[in-house]
Amino acid sequence: MLIGELTYAQPITDRIMLRIVGRTVSLQCKCTDSGLRPNLFVQNFALMFYFIKFLRRNTRDHFYGPLNAYVYTNEDDTRAFINLRMNVTGVRPYAALTTDDNEIIPSRATRMSADRFDNELNVKLKYMIFKYVWQNIDDENVVQQQRLNKELFAHHLSDMHEDFCASGIIIDGEDFNSVLVNERIVRERRAVNRLAESQAQQQRQAHHQGQAGEAVDETE
């Protein structure tokens, strides 16, 4: 395994793809640096937040982490191609400048490293990332739809929310679960039948009362 660095990487597009496998979430995007187009993969929640919040097509960043590379050729071509994949474990932003007077554009992006933010300890950050994923669960430009098990992911997110409410991290949040379950019970026909039966019963009672009144008149 190689430890690689992308010293001046630029995202190709603003689109960042999130992938759900069971109860885990990973992030991936493609960037360009020195003529290469490596694929970036992120599994740390703090770095995911950085990518979602700050990474744009016009930004420049310094990435580092384990790097996998392999070369392949096509039968109809004599050229060789290289495929690069980096599992990002750290990122450092570069200052962006305006095109007119080269002034620094303010940004809140700061250097981040995966070893400073343990996924097991940052459970609230995990909840935020999972909630963001759930809010975009049906957007094919944000969440990869292939082999997506929405039900399993929804149950896991709902359990996290309930655990936070039980432990006091989320106060009075029992009615604000991000995962909403709608249950529909069809009773329209039965209600209509009951209404019809009630109206028919009232008509029969009125008819009987009318007949009783006529009988009294005839007797008199």
Over residues 128-141, the pLDDT tens digits come to: 999 999 999 999 99
In a domain, 65, yes or no: yes
Are 15 and 119 in the same domain? yes
Neighbours of 28 (CB within 10 A): 17
Q: What is the dihedral of CA 166, 170, 176, 180, to 10 degrees?
A: -60
pTM, full prediction: 0.73
In a domain, 101, yes or no: yes
Are 203 and 97 in the same domain? no
Q: Please list the alpha-helical segments (H only) found in 55-141.
A: 123-135
Q: What is the mean pLDDT of residues 200-217?
A: 65
Q: How far apart are CA 25 and CA 16, in angstroms?
A: 13
In a domain, 116, yes or no: yes
In a domain, 179, yes or no: no
In a domain, 143, yes or no: yes
In terms of DSSP bridges, do strands 39-42 and 24-32 run parallel, antiparallel, or are they unpaired? Answer: antiparallel
In a domain, 164, yes or no: no
Number of separate domains in the chain: 2
Are 140 and 42 in the same domain? yes
Instruction: Please report where in the chains the tokens 């009362």 appear, as a residue.
Output: 209
Domain, as residue range, for 190: 186-220
Encode pLDDT of 156-178 as tens digits: 999 999 999 888 888 887 766 76
The residues, any chain, with a CB within 8 Å of residue 68's CB and separated by 6 or more, are 1, 2, 84, 85, 86, 87
Are 74 and 25 in the same domain? yes
